[in-house]
Structure 1
Amino acid sequence: MVRIEDLYTFINGEYVSDKDAVIPIHDGGFTRGDAVFDTCRTFRGEIYKLEEHIDRLFMSLNYMQIKSPYTKNELIKATHKLLELNNHLLTEKDDYWVFLRITRGPSNGSPNVIIHCVPLPLKERSEYYRSGLPLMISSVRRTSHEALSPRAKVNQYINFNLADLEAQNYQEGAKAILLDQNGNLTEGSGTNIFIVKNNKIFTPHEKFVLAGIGRSDAMDLARGLGMPVIEKDLDSYDAYTSDEMFVTSTSFCIVPVKSINGRQIGDGDIPGKITKRLQEAFIDSIGFDYVSQYLSNLSA
């Protein structure tokens, strides 16, 4: 088991132990949430689509008008070096979440750059791959795209945090899905949602959500299998009457949904036939069975 205190962290050009990775208390990322981040994961210790995540990180930086002290290539090299320092701690059942964070820094200073690893919560999430993920439509709304673009991955996650707390109070293990101001489904905290109806796959418009790398993977795989993928406004009715639902994220990859607001999705098969085909296609594309990895972490 990987212990956080044994890990190295990259901070402003140095590789330090996790306990020594600190930023000034006056940093805007701490005082105002004025920062951007992106998140990758490893498969067998190898990082997945790092370049795509860093491209998105730089788009978020541009949106927030924060200038990175490092180039894309420098961040790529720093991330690979960090994994070289930490990968010996992994067991066969482990993999990493890898976070890249850039704050604006203190008002009279420069941006702070942090890259750090944490073990993926494979055991805590393993049951979702056997029984499905319960979702709850939260009373907390997604921040309007007219106020803050959801396409930028910024540190302002308070509404997602409140929504997930509400979901946990509703049902242990449940994850929240947020509506927009018009009552349409948007996304969860770090997850994109998909609905399957009559062998067609539907997902909210990219303009109103953070377009996850996992979302793009699922859409590309589905189209490669000849499955129609349609972006449109979706509401709770669409979810309640769907044949299947699944969510995507960097860490989840593709995970089936079993219920929403306590209502069973479709006939209750986990995973549904479309979700299973997409899981298998993703496994083939990366050459690693992430579903079996999650299931291997199930408690006896």
Structure 2
Amino acid sequence: MLNTETPSLQHRELDQYPTEQLVAAFADDQLTAVQAVRAAVPAIARAVDAAVPRIEAGGRLLYVGAGTSGRLGVLDSVELYPTFSWPHERAVAVLAGGAEAMFQAVEGAEDNRAQGARDLLALEPSRNDVVLALAASGTTPYVLGAIQAAREVGALTIGIANNPGTPVAAEAEYGITLDTGNEIISGSTRLKAGTSQKIVLNTISSAIMVRLHKVYGNLMVDLKPTNAKLFARTVRLTMHATGADEATARTALEQCGFHVKVAVVALLKKTTVQQAGDLLDQARGSVRGALNS
């Protein structure tokens, strides 16, 4: 039996716990997710290093999964635009059962290997695309079909699973096993298995964006301000990066459409925003490269 399906020997009287003990048990169990991700750091790093050249060459991040794993893929894909100004069309997720499965479980969809291949191929993957295939069990037919289809067209495949020695990690070019073991509620991989997958997706996509110069120091300098909170954040980030006062930072941002990168280079280099934009283009979007030019 898969580790994620094996009933836990701990907390056998879970349903009898007083509420504070019940909540503490759930919280403590989540620590295993962090430990599993930490143990997988070398594999995650190898996957990131393999993915970056593909994405630099114009590839997309394509997420494939079923159930909780698939929904986590959707979540990661939609968060990249506001955080890093990453184009929607370059972060695309497919979910077993289709879009409606995001909001309501579509039972049985994950068992269709051929549909996984069809859904992946419908995205017209290329050699520069990076496919992130997720399955807690590591055996989901839908995900395995997508991996096979992706490999046949030469796309890079990264398989993420929560059981050692399973096909999703083995059949992908880069396998990441998050050995979270059994769940506090037997088989409910929306718990720590899901948490570990969320951490890994955050880590992979964020690390790629750092390598693509979407971050200066640890500052989110390529965000897309789409609401009042984010517009205020662009001002704070520009002030922090340059030491400028609020009025000066805001003026520079207004001149460049609230593009933090451009404002930072313009203020630190004491150039116009047009010149700052040109310097960033020459430096392939790197704030450090533009400042050192």
TM-score by length of 2: 0.24
Structure with bigger helix share is 2
Whose strand fraction is larger, Structure 1's or Structure 2's?
1
Which of the pair has more CA radius of gyration?
2
